[in-house]
Amino acid sequence: MRQKKLHVKQGDMVMLNKTITSAKSAGEDREAGYVGKVLKVFPDEERVIVEGVNIRVFHEQPSRSNPDGGRIEREAPIHVSNVNPVDSDGEATRIGRKKVEDPDTGKSKWVRYAKTTGEELDE
Protein backbone atom coordinates (compact mmCIF):
# COMPACT_ATOMS: atom_id res chain seq x y z
CA MET A 1 0.00 0.00 0.00
CA ARG A 2 1.32 3.44 -0.95
CA GLN A 3 1.81 6.05 1.73
CA LYS A 4 -0.60 8.97 1.50
CA LYS A 5 0.88 12.31 0.53
CA LEU A 6 -0.21 15.15 2.78
CA HIS A 7 0.18 18.86 2.17
CA VAL A 8 2.13 19.33 5.43
CA LYS A 9 5.35 17.83 6.77
CA GLN A 10 6.95 17.63 10.18
CA GLY A 11 8.57 20.96 11.03
CA ASP A 12 6.27 23.08 8.81
CA MET A 13 4.69 26.24 10.18
CA VAL A 14 0.91 25.97 9.74
CA MET A 15 -2.13 28.16 10.33
CA LEU A 16 -5.39 26.84 11.79
CA ASN A 17 -8.48 27.04 9.59
CA LYS A 18 -11.03 26.40 12.34
CA THR A 19 -11.37 27.09 16.04
CA ILE A 20 -10.04 24.16 18.08
CA THR A 21 -11.50 23.90 21.58
CA SER A 22 -9.15 22.78 24.29
CA ALA A 23 -9.68 20.92 27.56
CA LYS A 24 -7.33 23.18 29.52
CA SER A 25 -8.51 24.29 32.92
CA ALA A 26 -8.24 27.96 31.90
CA GLY A 27 -10.69 27.32 29.08
CA GLU A 28 -8.36 28.58 26.35
CA ASP A 29 -9.43 28.15 22.76
CA ARG A 30 -7.20 28.37 19.73
CA GLU A 31 -8.90 30.62 17.22
CA ALA A 32 -8.59 30.31 13.47
CA GLY A 33 -5.43 32.09 12.40
CA TYR A 34 -3.19 30.63 15.13
CA VAL A 35 0.25 29.74 13.72
CA GLY A 36 2.17 26.80 15.13
CA LYS A 37 4.79 24.20 14.23
CA VAL A 38 3.90 20.66 13.15
CA LEU A 39 5.46 18.32 15.72
CA LYS A 40 4.36 14.97 14.26
CA VAL A 41 2.47 13.70 11.21
CA PHE A 42 0.33 10.54 11.03
CA PRO A 43 -0.28 10.01 7.27
CA ASP A 44 -2.35 6.83 7.68
CA GLU A 45 -4.85 8.57 9.97
CA GLU A 46 -4.52 11.92 8.12
CA ARG A 47 -3.79 13.70 11.40
CA VAL A 48 -1.10 16.05 12.69
CA ILE A 49 0.06 17.30 16.08
CA VAL A 50 0.54 21.09 16.14
CA GLU A 51 2.48 22.81 18.91
CA GLY A 52 0.15 24.41 21.46
CA VAL A 53 -3.09 23.21 19.84
CA ASN A 54 -5.66 20.73 21.20
CA ILE A 55 -4.05 20.33 24.65
CA ARG A 56 -5.53 17.35 26.47
CA VAL A 57 -4.95 15.76 29.88
CA PHE A 58 -3.52 12.23 29.72
CA HIS A 59 -3.41 9.97 32.78
CA GLU A 60 -0.11 8.08 32.78
CA GLN A 61 0.97 5.17 34.89
CA PRO A 62 4.31 5.35 36.70
CA SER A 63 7.30 4.45 34.53
CA ARG A 64 11.07 4.89 34.61
CA SER A 65 10.89 8.22 32.82
CA ASN A 66 7.98 9.41 35.00
CA PRO A 67 8.22 7.57 38.34
CA ASP A 68 5.24 9.36 39.90
CA GLY A 69 2.86 9.00 36.95
CA GLY A 70 -0.13 11.30 37.12
CA ARG A 71 -1.92 13.75 34.87
CA ILE A 72 0.13 15.05 31.94
CA GLU A 73 -1.01 17.84 29.59
CA ARG A 74 0.11 17.42 25.98
CA GLU A 75 -1.04 18.00 22.43
CA ALA A 76 -3.49 15.59 20.79
CA PRO A 77 -3.77 15.07 17.01
CA ILE A 78 -6.11 17.14 14.84
CA HIS A 79 -7.27 16.42 11.29
CA VAL A 80 -4.93 17.61 8.56
CA SER A 81 -7.78 19.45 6.81
CA ASN A 82 -7.86 21.95 9.69
CA VAL A 83 -4.39 23.37 8.89
CA ASN A 84 -2.72 25.10 5.94
CA PRO A 85 1.02 25.78 5.52
CA VAL A 86 2.24 29.35 5.92
CA ASP A 87 4.20 31.06 3.11
CA SER A 88 6.99 33.63 3.51
CA ASP A 89 4.43 36.45 3.84
CA GLY A 90 2.90 34.77 6.91
CA GLU A 91 -0.35 33.94 5.10
CA ALA A 92 -2.01 30.54 4.82
CA THR A 93 -1.56 29.00 1.39
CA ARG A 94 -2.60 26.00 -0.62
CA ILE A 95 0.02 23.56 -1.89
CA GLY A 96 0.96 22.52 -5.40
CA ARG A 97 3.53 19.99 -6.52
CA LYS A 98 5.97 20.39 -9.39
CA LYS A 99 8.89 18.40 -10.72
CA VAL A 100 12.24 20.18 -10.46
CA GLU A 101 15.34 18.90 -12.23
CA ASP A 102 18.75 19.18 -10.60
CA PRO A 103 21.14 20.68 -13.22
CA ASP A 104 24.23 18.96 -11.76
CA THR A 105 22.97 15.38 -11.62
CA GLY A 106 20.12 15.55 -14.14
CA LYS A 107 17.76 13.83 -11.70
CA SER A 108 14.36 15.28 -10.96
CA LYS A 109 12.31 15.33 -7.78
CA TRP A 110 8.89 16.51 -6.70
CA VAL A 111 8.76 19.62 -4.53
CA ARG A 112 5.90 21.43 -2.81
CA TYR A 113 5.29 25.07 -3.65
CA ALA A 114 2.99 27.76 -2.27
CA LYS A 115 0.15 28.62 -4.63
CA THR A 116 0.01 32.23 -3.38
CA THR A 117 3.67 33.21 -3.89
CA GLY A 118 4.99 30.38 -6.08
CA GLU A 119 7.97 29.79 -3.78
CA GLU A 120 9.18 26.26 -3.02
CA LEU A 121 8.48 24.99 0.49
CA ASP A 122 10.92 22.06 0.35
CA GLU A 123 14.65 22.65 0.49
Say what the pLDDT of residue 26 is. 47
Asked if the model's pLDDT at residue 100 lies above 70, the reply is yes
Mean pLDDT of the chain: 88
Q: What percent of the chain has pLDDT over 90?
A: 67
Say what the pLDDT of residue 31 is. 78
Asked if the model's pLDDT at residue 114 lies above 90, the reply is yes
Asked if the model's pLDDT at residue 27 lies above 70, the reply is no
Averaged over 46-73, what is the pLDDT?
Answer: 92
Secondary structure of the chain in the HEC alphabet? CCCCCCCCCCCCEEEECCCEECCCCCCCEECCCCEEEEEEEECCCCEEEECCCCEEEEEECCCCCCCCCEEEEEECCEEHHHEEEECCCCCECCEEEEEEECCCCCCEEEEEEECCCCCECCC
